[in-house]
């Protein structure tokens, strides 16, 4: 497997497997992050749902729980980003995954601090911007991914080759990947690594509410949808909250009305507090393939073994 030995993602991140756990809000605290890193993949703390003090606490606990590399996900549009940056610098975070914003804004200052920067994109255009801004790699996230997503709606099958052919930095594929065969498919399409989100929400260490984890393993095809395109497109499980969005739209709701309906705390209410009807449940289409909740280390091992098996026998 010569090409795996030269894999630029494992080299860049100094990890055993080119698998990154996505920094999902309300799921990705120090427990999940350290479990994934200890298993040989890259754990990520999702700062998008954390106040600065909570982020710092998670970083400190994560460092106590693993000696392996881990990263912090930083949504660029986060309101208190200057405080977050200060915490990343103070705690000597080595890898930062930026998302939801212009890569040119913070990449230079992160690089000045010697941090490796990976930016999440949903288009070739933004991948080129990220490369130009000095990012070390890009994560190409397809339409099937959970949570916030691009307006182009380009799926992984098309986005991965589009982005791979446009940039020379390594491309990490995200969206629709929960198994080793999906990982291999992404790498056949030109990715050098994968970012896995939904599968890790249904892990024992995710801080997500057990109701939400059970909703994932009980979901089936067509249960998620990309919605709220008037604000920022987000993929979630259809529930009563989603029905309310639909009703509001049928009544010709303005953007302001939709923003008020979403309100503050919807995501926390759904994913962290377990309100399956009135909360926001961000998850990917691949949830239809996830049937059990298990330790994160087992998920890493399973994906890797499936990937190796598939690589040896690509046509089933």
Binding footprint of its own copies on the chain (CB under 8 A): 1, 3-4, 7, 123-125, 142-144, 151-159, 161-162, 164, 175-177, 179, 181-182, 184-190, 192, 220-222, 225-226, 252, 285-286, 288-289, 310-311, 313-316
Query: How near is the Cβ of 70 to its own copies at its closest, in Å?
Result: 25
CB of 287 to its own copies, least distance (A): 9
d(CA 180, CA 175): 14
Please choose, from the candidates 72, 78, 59, the residue with its C-alpha nearest in 3D space to the C-alpha of residue 22. 72
Greatest pairwise CA separation for the chain in angstroms? 58
* Cβ at position 107, least distance to its own copies in Å: 22
Task: Report the residue number, 74 or 290, with the smaller CB distance to its own copies.
Answer: 290
CB closer to its own copies, 40 vs 161:
161
Find the shortest distance in angstroms from Cβ 73 to its own copies: 22
Give the nearer residue to its own copies in terms of CB position, either 100 or 158. 158
Among residues 113 and 125, whose Cβ is nearest to its own copies?
125
> Rounded to whole angstroms, how far apart are CA atoms 316 and 308?
13
Closest to its own copies by CB, 44 vs 174, is 174
Query: Is residue 11 within a helix (H) or strand (E), and if so which, with residue range?
Result: helix 8-13
Q: Beta strand pairing status for 147-148 and 234-237? A: antiparallel
Distance in Å, CB of 162 to its own copies, minimum: 6
3-state secondary structure of 119: strand
Instruction: Give the shortest CB-168-to-its own copies separation in angstroms.
Output: 13
Q: What is the DSSP-derived secondary structure letter of residue 294?
A: B
d(CA 129, CA 132): 5
Sequence-ordered list of residues with C-beta below 8 angstroms from that of 260, at least 6 positions apart, any chain: none
Residue 57 or 152: the one with the smaller Cβ distance to its own copies is 152
Pick the closer one to its own copies by CB: 288 or 297: 288
Find the angle CA(67)-CA(83)-CA(51) to the nearest 5 degrees. Answer: 75
Is-contact 147 197, C-beta < 8 A? yes
The distance of closest approach from Cβ of residue 164 to its own copies in the complex, given in angstroms and rounded to an integer, is 8
Distance CA 53, CA 30 (A): 13
């Amino acid at each position: 497997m010569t090409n795996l030995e030269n894999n630029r993602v494992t080299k860049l991140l100094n990890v055993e497997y080119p698998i990154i756990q996505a920094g999902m809000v309300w799921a990705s605290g120090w427990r999940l992050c350290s479990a994934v890193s200890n298993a040989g993949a890259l754990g990520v703390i999702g700062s998008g749902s954390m106040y600065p003090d909570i982020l710092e606490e998670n970083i400190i606990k994560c460092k106590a729980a693993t000696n392996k590399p881990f990263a912090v996900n930083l949504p660029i549009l986060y309101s208190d980003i200057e405080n977050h940056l200060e915490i990343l610098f103070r705690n000597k975070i080595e890898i930062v995954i930026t998302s939801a914003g212009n890569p040119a804004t913070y990449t230079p200052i992160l690089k000045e601090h010697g941090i490796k920067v990976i930016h999440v994109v949903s288009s070739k255009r933004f991948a080129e911007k990220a490369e130009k801004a000095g990012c070390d790699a890009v994560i190409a996230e397809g339409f099937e991914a959970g949570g916030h997503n691009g307006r182009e709606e380009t799926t992984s099958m098309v986005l991965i080759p589009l982005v791979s052919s446009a940039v020379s930095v390594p491309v990490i594929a995200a969206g629709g990947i929960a198994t080793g065969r999906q990982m291999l498919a992404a790498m056949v399409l030109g990715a050098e690594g994968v970012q896995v989100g939904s599968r890790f929400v249904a892990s024992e260490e995710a801080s997500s509410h057990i109701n939400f984890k059970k909703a994932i393993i009980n979901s089936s095809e067509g249960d998620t949808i990309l919605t709220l395109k008037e604000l920022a497109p987000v993929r979630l499980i259809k529930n009563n909250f989603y029905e309310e969005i639909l009703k509001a739209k049928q009544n010709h709701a303005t953007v302001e009305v939709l923003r008020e309906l979403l309100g503050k705390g919807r995501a926390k209410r759904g994913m962290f507090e377990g309100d399956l009807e009135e909360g926001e449940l961000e998850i990917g289409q691949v949830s239809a393939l996830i049937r059990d909740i298990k330790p994160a280390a087992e998920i890493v091992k399973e994906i890797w073994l499936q990937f190796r098996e598939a690589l040896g026998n690509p046509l089933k």
